[in-house]
Amino acid sequence: MLQGFFQIALTLVIVVALMPFLGRYLARVFLAEKTIFDSLLLPIERLIYRFLQVSPTDSMTGWQYARAILLSNGAMAGLIFAMIALQQYLPLNPTGIPAPTWDTTLHTTISFITNTNQQHYSGETYLSYGAQMLGLGYLMFTSAGTGIAVAIAFIRGLTGRPLGNFYRDLVLSITRVLLPISIVGALLLMLAGVPETLDGPVVVPTLEDPSLSQAIARGPVAHFEIIKELGENGGGFFAINSAHPFENPNGLANLIQLVAILAIPTSLIYTYGVFTQNLRQAWLIFLVPLGILIGFTVITVMGEYNGNPAVNALLGGLAPNLEGKEVRFGWAQSALYAVVTTATMCGAVNSLHDSFMPTGGFATLANMFLQIVFGGQGTGTAYLFAYLILAVFVTGLMVGRTPEFLGRKIEKREVVLASFLILLVHPIAILIPAAIAMAFPDFQGISNPGFHGLSQVIYEYASAAANNGSGLEGLGDSQPSPLALATGAKPTVTALWWNLSTSFSLLVGRYVPIIALLLLADGMARKQPVPTTIGTLRTDTVLFTGITAGVILIMGALTFFPWLALGPVAEAFQIASGTSPT
């Protein structure tokens, strides 16, 4: 047990130690200060701007920034949809895989353009190397870059600066941040044993009977894996994601992945501190999601360490819950990975979340409901500051002071946008389609009855709306593979429902909040700063940070508490009572 907690503590210490360095570097990049890559990358970036026919020095309004995101993302989505639909005619398809069904292609495209990577398919049997490497890999960079750009624009707006130019921010996010780190990370993963090859599957004799053979899938995995984690994408090259030994072969690779997942979301908070020249406030804000992350990790770890009471009764003592886990990671690293990947909206998994004890289900669901621990790539940071604005407003009402944040008044427009963003959009994207699915059993395909089945449904939509992408599985959300379709298998209505309904949650959960965040930032940027007086509410104190944490838990968690109560909480009581699911 002590070893497991030591591994968890070491991982978090590395992330906290890395945060100031990466955070300051991000600030230098987006404040147009000199960096070590200038001589190499400036000429390349100028060529990109010239090709795109954009002027990187032209700042955009909130609507212009949002429109640029929607237009560019729409064009990218059309390109990748066509690439997947035509993959059998394109190169880098050594196994000759035909195209998936139209609904699987549509869901996959939307899922990757929204930085979600929710997968209703198995990568090695549904998509070619070209579709994964050139299509989905391309979207992994651009969707993550879009998220970083939104966070930077939001921070600029809060600090009274113009929002900047989306195309410049997107290019810098890729050339100065994602690409350099991904190159180093891919080399480290290759050294750790992750393959990188364009060769097709290798056929080997089986251990049970040498006269029989087995095809082992492989591919260009290492470079795909690092941007999967660094960009909070989460989509696996193989069906079982980072539980696959080719994606995550050992403890070193697992550590690299965990650090990569947490690196940018945590560092953006420090970047905010550099922009505002108030590192004290940045550290205090950082402690809020860190504290929630540690709390969720503890309850998940303890649930997995104590195991399932039914199994313990058979064994005559306590035993960790190792169902659905890789023994090379064990209960501790599996639990930490599950909490981190849902806290950051990455969605990569190194174990089966469906097999976790109810405490783990509670923590992973709560992470996706809150979206700020540390949230999605860039957008999670913006969500956190939206909560700060609400906390300033609530505190101002409590103490009778005019609500101000960074010297700018918080008025009706800001409160409406922040409330709309936090209290309406996310619940709508989850609860409405979940209610429809629960009302029509033919849509569900639930493999587990009772409380856990409810968790499976709500998890799927929470994962889509939060742009996370992980799943409890057990739902009939996959159409037959392209090769099975070619031999006569028929598409199912259940998979069609899940592909289309989650596509709604994916789009609403991604783009409506982005538009609201940009409009909120644009409004803050246009406000005239007011002088600080003795009556100004300070936001860089421990007391205000505690109030912010309370606002997050009350406003964010209580909205979804009935689902938590009917899902993992009820399941925990059921397991403790020794009754079987009904």
> What is residue 252's predicted lDDT score, i.e. its pLDDT?
94
pLDDT digits (tens, 9 = 90+) for 41-50: 999 999 999 9
Q: How large a percentage of the chain has pLDDT more than 90?
A: 64
The helix (run of H) or strand (run of E) holding residue 523 is: helix 493-526
pLDDT digits (tens, 9 = 90+) for 458-505: 999 999 999 999 998 888 889 999 989 989 899 998 999 999 999 999
> What is residue 411's predicted lDDT score, i.e. its pLDDT?
85
Task: Give the residue with greater pLDDT, 478 vs 420.
Answer: 478
> What is residue 580's predicted lDDT score, i.e. its pLDDT?
57
pLDDT digits (tens, 9 = 90+) for 15-38: 999 999 999 999 999 999 998 888
Closest to 566 in 3D by CA, of 434, 469, 471? 434
pLDDT digits (tens, 9 = 90+) for 270-288: 999 999 999 999 999 999 9
Q: Give yes or no for residue 229 having a pLDDT over 80.
A: yes
Q: How large a percentage of the chain has pLDDT more than 70?
A: 99
**What is the average pLDDT across 375-393?**
86
The alpha carbons of the chain give a radius of gyration, in whole angstroms, of 23
Using a CB cutoff of 8 Å and minimum separation of 24, what contacts does 453-458 make?
Answer: 454/563, 454/566, 454/567, 455/361, 455/365, 455/567, 455/568, 455/571, 456/354, 458/365, 458/430, 458/434, 458/563, 458/567
Parse the chain into domains and list their residue ranges.
2-205+212-577
Residue-by-residue DSSP string for 20-35: HHHHHHHHHHHTT---
Closest to 471 in 3D by CA, of 128, 305, 254, 239? 239
pTM above 0.85, yes or no: yes
pLDDT digits (tens, 9 = 90+) for 190-203: 999 999 998 888 88
Residue-by-residue DSSP string for 474-504: -S---PPPHHHHHTT----HHHHHHHHHHHH
Q: Give yes or no for residue 418 having a pLDDT over 90.
A: no
Q: Give yes or no for residue 582 having a pLDDT over 60.
A: no
Q: Give yes or no for residue 259 having a pLDDT over 90.
A: yes
- C-alpha to C-alpha distance for 460 and 464, rounded to whole angstroms: 6
Q: Give yes or no for residue 581 having a pLDDT over 70.
A: no
pLDDT digits (tens, 9 = 90+) for 307-322: 888 888 888 888 899 9
Residue-by-residue DSSP string for 415-450: HHHHHIIIIIIHHHHHHHHHHHHHH-GGGT--SS-T
Min mean pLDDT across 117-121, 285-289, 404-408, 480-484 is at 404-408
